[in-house]
Amino acid sequence: MEQNEVTVQVPMNIALVKYWGKRDEQLILPLNDSISLTVDKLTAETTVRMIEGVGKNTVEINGKNVELSSNKRYQTVFDEALRLQRKRKELSDSNGNSTSISHYFQVISTTNFPVAAGLASSAAGFAAIALGIQRLLNLDDSQANRLARIGSGSACRSMFGGLVHWKKGEKEDGSDCVAVKTCDSNWPDLYCIILVFNDGRKKVGSSEGMRRTRETSTLLQHRIESIVPQRIDEIKKAYSSRNFENLAKVIMADSNQFHAVCLDTSPPIRYLNDASWHLIELVEKFNEEQGIRAAYTFDAGPNACVIVQKKDAKQFIDAVLKTIDIPEDDLKLAGEELSETFRPSEEAPIVKCSKLVISPMGGGPQE
Amino acid sequence: MEQNEVTVQVPMNIALVKYWGKRDEQLILPLNDSISLTVDKLTAETTVRMIEGVGKNTVEINGKNVELSSNKRYQTVFDEALRLQRKRKELSDSNGNSTSISHYFQVISTTNFPVAAGLASSAAGFAAIALGIQRLLNLDDSQANRLARIGSGSACRSMFGGLVHWKKGEKEDGSDCVAVKTCDSNWPDLYCIILVFNDGRKKVGSSEGMRRTRETSTLLQHRIESIVPQRIDEIKKAYSSRNFENLAKVIMADSNQFHAVCLDTSPPIRYLNDASWHLIELVEKFNEEQGIRAAYTFDAGPNACVIVQKKDAKQFIDAVLKTIDIPEDDLKLAGEELSETFRPSEEAPIVKCSKLVISPMGGGPQE
């Protein structure tokens, strides 16, 4: 019985131009391109083992076994991995017969962040599984990309460091739907400040939400065809020329537009809550007074990710502390990251944030 | 000294397909058509007097004098009225010389609803002034329409009963930008239930909001060109065939899309609050269980207008009472209107409504 094992650490990513809507539900092919940066400090550390012989696939996340019969995506990824392996063996096997040995996967994953915090931890998790399987089965980058994507669409954007462009592709089989690192040089000065406002309210899941928007929004198609391609170019230009102001403008406009098409859905979908709006207004005020030095972006939930250059992080957090209550331990960690000291305001906070994280952006997976 | 006096009573109106964005700020020419119904019970009763000789224009609303130097729109309306009068006199005067007598207007207006409640009371007010001046100066309908519009854009939709279509027109001088009654027969069975959730939060004024959306939204143009014309047709068809389900679908979709383009604005504009969203979810649930029998619509504020057929009003208000706190006096008035009895729920309400009004829709101005 042969046994292989790989351990990888993969960061979650946050889209600067958002993915919303699938052109193929099975293959998870998106209706539009998206572009993202990783959040280096929020990672899934994952060990993938492959076992030949008799057994069954198992997935353990943060010490809990995942019920695979009700989480079909893991099985889809494992099946596809074996299909890719068989295909390669057939190619290298002169008589064309495939071997018939059974394989099983064991996945043990630990995230350094609550899975339920609404911070796209599944993207990091599936990217880690895909990278682990890539090492074990010697898959190429595009095959690993495909594995990540069919696990969780945006997971394919966590496969690389730097600015990552997930191209929607045109082909029905999804072979040209891949995520690629898109600028030569990174921008290590970019930091994100994540504020978790999760209010426990039941939200519409991304898959269900995307389906509903695709079927009912009369603005989505225009966004896909006429807005997103231009914004992808603008982000690339701003990132490669390190023009923060232009980068920030597109990031905020695209976050707002994503939530706008959610609202243009029947029934309408709402992910932003009062705390999210408080933060939006805070950033707008900060930028009005200081020049554009912070950019908010919200995924399918109320939690904010604010992107700043490292030099502005201290000032922005100070502005946040005037009206937002931050857990003391998180404030201490943020201070250590920035070599600064933060003190909560003595005024009564308006909004409560349950977790703050500050992290550099754009790092890649690590083995 | 000649003195004339006219008193008119004009209802406010609520758009079923929303007006948002001006193609001309001075003439108040809209970027897109809109279509509306009046709310019969919310009216501005207005007396307009015209005085020849020396004096000054005065406007009194609900017993308070309006400072005309900081409310330029009244002056614009009065000036335009005199210009139209001069033009007519010139036409009828064989030697082409205009008379040089000065005219002044006195306006005394009483609304049966708080002006500050965010319920477009200015629309009813300016429509009343325009109708009053029309009678005094023998203006034609299109001239009166123009007077109302340059006072407050959507005021021109309060000039008629029935379904009113405000056409954006194409001409630069606004001569083809008029509101017209658009279906032969009315639908007297339609009622609206207005819930005031005004939370006193400072909102972005309509004029400022429209300007910002026109300048920054990348979805607005698509809405204007490709969505609104179709929706205007759908509303007309649904109204004239009395197809409530189709009417309701368009009403709700268009309210959502109007708020979506507000969100697609930089900085984003938010008019809906938690109470508004609570009501949206309540209507969606009601329709899911009962078939589509209620339609919400929100103007540039948090207050809801729910359109129902009279036969469903009782059941809808009962559903509202399960989670929304309604002032007792308003509930009594609603009961009288419907010949029904309403009782507040004994459960703790989730949302507080500061005023409820139930009213038939589609009535016109009265002299």
B156 contacts B148 by C-beta, under 8 angstroms: yes
The three-class DSSP label of residue B178 is coil
Chain A residues whose beta carbon lies within 8 Å of the beta carbon of residue B273: 274
Taking the Cβ of residue A270 and every Cβ of chain B, the question of whether any pair is shorter than 8 Å is answered with yes
Residue B52 phi/psi, 5° resolution?
-95, 145
Strands A64-65 and A179-181, how do they pair? unpaired
Mean pLDDT of chain A: 91
Is the pLDDT assigned to residue A98 strictly greater than 80? no
Q: Is A216 an 8 Å CB contact of chain B? A: yes
Quote the CA–CA distance of B288 and B308 in Å, as a whole number.
Answer: 15
Chain B residue with CA closest to A268: the answer is B256
Which pair of tokens denotes residue A325? 């209550």
**A277 in reach of chain B (CB within 8 A):** yes
Of A226, A260, A284, the CB nearest to B261: A260
Q: Phi, psi (5° rounding) for residue B217?
A: -75, 135
With residue B251 as reference, give the H or E element that holds it: helix B244-263
- Note whether B216 contacts A: Cβ–Cβ < 8 A: yes
Q: 3-class secondary structure for chain A?
A: CCEEEEEEEEEEEEEEECCCCEEECCCCEECCCEEEEEEEEEEEEEEEEEEECCCCCEEEECCEECCHHHCHHHHHHHHHHHHHHHHHHHHHCCCCCCCCCCEEEEEEEEECCCHHHCCCHHHHHHHHHHHHHHHHHCCCHHHHHHHHHHHCHHHHHHCCCCCEEECCCCCCCCCCCCEEECCCCCCCCEEEEEEECCCCCCCCCHHHHHHHHHHHCCCHHHHHHHHHHHHHHHHHHHHHCCCHHHHHHHHHHHHHHHHHHHHCCCCCCCCCCHHHHHHHHHHHHHHHHHCCCEEEEECCCCCEEEEEEHHHHHHHHHHHHCCEECCHHHHHHHHHHHCCCCCCCCCCCCEECCEEEEEEECCCCEC
Task: Establish if B226 touches chain A: CB-CB under 8 angstroms.
Answer: yes
The angle formed by the CA atoms of residues A101, A105 and A111, to the nearest 5 degrees, is 170
Residue range B2-45, pLDDT digits in tens: 558 999 999 999 999 999 999 999 999 999 999 999 999 999 99
The pLDDT of residue B89: 77
Given a contact cutoff of 8 angstroms between Cβ atoms, the answer to whether A272 and A259 are in contact is yes
> What is the DSSP-derived secondary structure letter of residue B249?
H
Pairing of strands B34-52, B58-61: unpaired
Give buried/exposed letters for B37-61 (b at 16+ CB in 10 A, else e).
bbbbbbbbbbbbbbbeeeeebbbeb
Cross-chain residue pair B218–A267, CB shorter than 8 Å = no
> For residue A273, what is the nearest residue in chain B, using CA coordinates?
B274
Q: Are strands B3-17 and B34-52 parallel, antiparallel or unpaired?
A: antiparallel
Residues B276 and B296: their CA atoms lie apart, in Å, by 10
Determine contact: A260 vs chain B, CB below 8 A: yes
Decide if B256 touches A, using CB distance below 8 A.
yes
State the CB neighbour count (10 A cutoff) for residue B63.
8
pLDDT digits (tens, 9 = 90+) for B151-195: 999 999 999 999 999 999 999 999 999 999 998 889 999 999 999
In whole angstroms, give the CA distance from residue A2 to residue A216.
Answer: 51
Half-sphere exposure in the Cβ direction for A191 (13 Å, CA): 19
Q: Say which of B253, B263, B277 has its CB closest to residue A256.
A: B263
State both tokens at B202.
């400072």
| Strand locations in chain B (E) | 3-17, 22-24, 29-30, 34-52, 58-61, 64-65, 103-111, 164-166, 179-181, 190-196, 294-298, 304-309, 324-325, 351-352, 355-360
The distance of A248 to chain B (nearest Cα, Å) reads 12
Are A3-181 and A190-360 the same fold in CATH? no
Q: Flag if A260 and B256 touch (Cβ within 8 Å).
A: no
CB-nearest partner of A222 from B219, B263, B274: B219
Question: Which of A252, A261, A274 minimises the CB distance to B260?
Answer: A261
CA distance B265 to B258: 11
CA distance A253 to chain B (A): 7
Check whether the bond before A267 is cis (ω within 30° of 0): yes
pLDDT of residue A200: 66
For residue A65, CA distances in Å to A62, A69, B109, B255 come to 9, 12, 71, 45
Tell me the shortest Cα–Cα distance from A36 to chain B, in angstroms. Answer: 20
Contacts of A24 (CB under 8 A, 6+ apart): A172, A174
Chain A and chain B share a number of CB contacts under 8 A equal to: 71
Residue of B219, B223, B257 lying closest to A257 (CB–CB): B219
At residue A285, does pLDDT exceed 60?
yes
CB contacts of A259 in chain B (<8 Å) are 263
Residue located via tokens 């232009």: A246
Fold classification of A3-181 is Ribosomal Protein S5; domain 2 (3.30.230)
Q: Where are the domains of chain A?
A: 3-181, 190-360
- Check A259 against B263: CB less than 8 A apart: yes
Res. B1: pLDDT tops 50? no
pLDDT at position A110 over 80 = yes
Of A12, A295, A251, the closest CA to residue A152 belongs to A12
Tens digits of per-residue pLDDT, B296-313?
999 999 999 999 999 999
Q: Is the peptide bond before A349 cis (omega within 30 degrees of 0)?
A: no
What pLDDT sits at residue B94? 56
Q: Percent of chain A having pLDDT more than 70?
A: 93
Q: Are B232 and B33 in contact (CB under 8 A)?
A: yes
Reported as type and span, the H/E element at residue B73 is helix B72-92
Mean pLDDT of A271-297: 96
Compute CA distances A207 → A120, A148, B169, B175, whole Å: 13, 16, 42, 49
Q: Check residue A100 and give its pLDDT.
A: 56
| Assigned CATH class of B190-360 | alpha beta
The whole-angstrom separation of Cα B145 and Cα B133 is: 11
Q: Do A219 and B257 touch (CB under 8 A)?
A: yes
**Most confidently modeled range among A81-95, A184-198, B177-191, B255-269:** B255-269
Chain A CB within 8 Å of residue B265 CB: yes
Q: Give the tens place of pLDDT for each residue, A329-348.
A: 999 999 999 999 999 888 87
ipTM of the complex: 0.93
* Residue B260 to residue A219, Cβ atoms within 8 A: yes
Q: How close A194 comes to chain B (CA, Å)? A: 20
A175 touches chain B (CB under 8 A): no
The three-point CA angle A126-A130-A133 to 5° equals 135
CA A337 – CA A29 distance, rounded (Å): 37
Does B274 touch chain A if contact means CB atoms closer than 8 Å?
yes
The closest CB to that of A266, out of B219, B253, B263, belongs to: B253
